[in-house]
Chain A
Amino acid sequence: MNIIINGIQYEVEKGITILEACRKAGIDIPTLCHDDRLEPSSSCRMCLVEIEGSKKLVTSCSTLVKENMVVYTHSARVMEARKEVLDLLVSNHPMECLTCAKSGKCKLQDYCYEYGITEASYKGARRKPKIDTSNPFYDYDASKCILCGLCIRVCDELQGTSAIGFENRGFDVVVTTPFNEGLVNSKCVSCGNCVSVCPVGALTPKKQTYRHWETKKVRTTCSYCGVGCQMDLVVKENRVVGVEPANVVPNDGLLCVKGKFAYKFINHPDRLKTPLIKRNGKFEEASWDEAYRYIRRKVNEIKEENGPDAFAGLTSARCTNEENYLFQKLFRAVIGTNNVDHCARL
């Protein structure tokens, strides 16, 4: 199928949206409420494009390509509409960029820069600040919320928890929990997936102590379970200060509460960093070589005295399939017993 975008012809697959076609062609279209993983919502109106023969502007996220469609993604009319949308958003936004934790990684800020919005044209009522700090891991500040709905849809469509939703109508809409009882009293499982998708500073991790440009990202695999979720550690001055999900297999940008928020053990003083060997009733630090030698000696001794079935092995849910495989191999082939099991079965 052929379509013409900004005067250039492209061959595209049938059944994709204009937005997808543009992205494949390397044309950037701004979006605030879109996420490839979710049903299109078309609520932010930033992805509007002009189509020849159509009076109205259409949202590229929800319009399928048609043979010989002629699309303009950055025409004067489109740019004007996007600017006005940003202006309207900014006219109802606190503009606390100087102190906002999201600064430097905020889509609203980025688009205002791109579209040259320096200040709000409309001075009038503002959304009332309604801050929910009841969750132990993250906060919601309604005054900064642009009501893109991404948090609600992620919680519903991907996380499957449906803890949050919109309340009220029109100008008074806010994101909230049923009967306004606060996140801590809701079904929320604190997975933080809503925090990860929020394009602005409305949903933020508690006590964020960094600005985005001070950090670097280190891709790693979550160590909590065998799923192997990919994530980016947010690192400032060699300390892990946050975690962001990576949008790749197997987790597609999702994490659970442990992956997202339980990273503080990394720099915790109680954390074990070397093996410990008990000598004279007291644990003492040892090297890995020492530890392995000690284990091998003990295993041989016990096996000689009591036979291989004196051993039983139990692995952890934090091990991967590969690790579990190796573990049972160790027990069956090396030690010689079938006494091997996994904690997830208990």
Chain B
Amino acid sequence: MITVERLREIKEKQRPILEARLKEKDIATINEDGSIVLKGEYYERQVRIALKNCGIIDPYNIEDYIAVDGYSALADILMNKSRQEIIDDMKASNLRGRGGAGFPTGRKWEEAFKYDADQKYMICNADEGDPGAFMDRSILENDPHAVLEGMAIGGYAVGASKGFIYVRAEYPLAVKTLRVAIEQARELGILGNNIFGTDFSFDIELRLGSGAFVCGEGTALIESIEGKRGMPRTKVFRTAHKGLWQKPTIINNVETYANVPVIFQKGVDWFRSIGTEKSPGTKVFALVGKVENAGLVEVPMGMPLREIVYDIGGGVQDGKKFKAVQTGGPSGGCIPADLIDTPVDFESLDKIGSIMGSGGMVVMDEETCMVDIARFFLDFTVEESCGKCVPCREGTKRMLEILENIVAGKGEEGDIEKLERLSDTISSASLCGLGQTAANPVVTTIKYFRDEYEAHIKEKKCPAGSCQALVQYFITEKCIGCGACARACPVGCISGDKKERHVIDQDRCIKCGACMEACPPKVSAVVRR
């Protein structure tokens, strides 16, 4: 059986081993207060709580986790704190769910804590289905014990003895690290019966999801664990009262759980000193797209977008102009360049029509067509809709069809209004969060880039020059009539006499761009417009 003394012994034995390893690899700085940070400007500009052990400890060795104070919060809580105190601390910390909606975790736990039942469950949502998101994956693969400890603390607080981690099967490495971590925790007695000699018992099982985005939605996830088709349930009662098998159930995100042990190690005041009043702490973002340094960044909430994109991300690739950033994945919105000073926290993003979501952040440059971006995200939603409710099943498909027509140059007068009407219905009438947020990319791009929609529909032009169907290759008067383009054209639609200006037959042109490449650079007579 594990005891507090045994935990301390392991720490004292393992800490020097870990430090020696880090020194040898020269990848991290060990601060005087004992904290360890990865070297390099990219990391030093971040504030890492959820990712604090990532890249530092060996995820396959529980002793490494213990060497960085792992499981000390759980031990302290089980020895010294009542369940009510944990709930109070969680509420005071105002930790908000990192899975998307930002619901205060303490309040959620309190609901289950107060609801009497013979069995309660803790679930960790590790389904991470947003395209381009890999925050949770990184935590699971590099610091699985933080999630287990967070779940155990929650289990103690609400009175649950059983936990499930619902992890997508497309994360085989995460599944493996979790398996090993659970096994090692069981062996040491940190999971199982009478943990630290108390009457608290808690165990965790894995459940694999098979890649449906909607199974990340809490009630669909529960249906899936119950062995049913992953479709959201209508909520007559809240999940914290009647969830998995109709028992009180807490569902939290991976990153949310990873924050929990640190809050109890360092205290509520410390946690609240980071981030903003209403959104304390940090958030991990997957910064991707046309940005110089793509990767995971963890920053205090409230940091302006500009700092994330420019100071940490190093700005737009190839010196191109910044156009917009999409936050929150397919449920989020596009934020235009003139709002780049918006602080990134739940309230501020909500105000401008986007969401924090799980932390996707896609940077777009001047060559990105905003209509096409809306189409791209909607295409994802249409694929992933579960098909249960009418607005989402039928409505998103109609929106996608309209957008596909617009980018193909077949947009009609009135399409924007149709999109707005559909957005309204889908947002207000859909059953679950997937449908309720599906229109966000469309709504925000219409709001901030309406002129691009109009250019596509009325002038049949793509201002960003990205929609294949709408670009035209055109030979200007600079043409010297060398014929290089005509020889390069695979469909032979360029004609013209020697030393005369050539012309492209627009009806036959397949827009491959071969002419533009063939035209001698000194001449550059072919333009794309």
Contact = CB atoms under 8 A, between A and B. Distances in A.
Contact of B398 (A64, A77, A124, A165): A124
Contacts of B431: 42-43, 45, 59
Interface centre among B388, B393, B394, B396 (most CB of A within 10 A): B394
Contacts, number: 105
Contacts of A146: 390
A84 B425 contact: yes
Given A42-B431, A170-B393, A91 B398 contact: yes
B80 interface: no
B331 to A, nearest CB: 15
Interface centre among B212, B236, B390, B421 (most CB of A within 10 A): B390
Interface stretch (B23-31, B46-54, B164-172, B379-387): B379-387
B436 A56 contact: yes
A166 B394 contact: no
Given A57-B428, A124-B398, A169-B386, A84 B391 contact: yes
Contacts of B436: 56
Given A41-B234, A59-B234, A170-B385, A81 B428 contact: yes
Contact of A171 (B212, B397, B421, B430): B397
Chain A: number of interface residues, binned into ranges: 35 or more
A151 B383 CA distance: 25
A168 interface: yes
What DSSP secondary structure best describes chain A's contact surface?
loop
B391 A43 contact: no
Contacts of A92: 394
Given A40-B236, A92-B394, A171-B397, A85 B388 contact: no
Chain B: number of interface residues, binned into ranges: 20 to 34
Interface in B348-390: 382-390
A166 B230 CA distance: 11
A125 interface: yes
B301 to A, nearest CB: 23
A238 B425 CA distance: 48
Contacts of A63: 236
A172 B387 contact: yes
Contact of A43 (B236, B388, B396, B421): B388
Interface of B: 212, 214, 229, 231, 234-236, 382-391, 393-398, 401, 418, 421-422, 425, 428-431, 436
Interface of A: 17, 40-45, 48, 56-57, 59, 61-64, 77, 80-81, 84-85, 88-89, 91-92, 121-122, 124-125, 146-147, 149, 165-166, 168-173
Given A170-B396, A173-B393, 9 more contacts: A40-B234, A45-B390, A45-B430, A84-B421, A85-B391, A85-B429, A88-B391, A91-B394, A147-B388
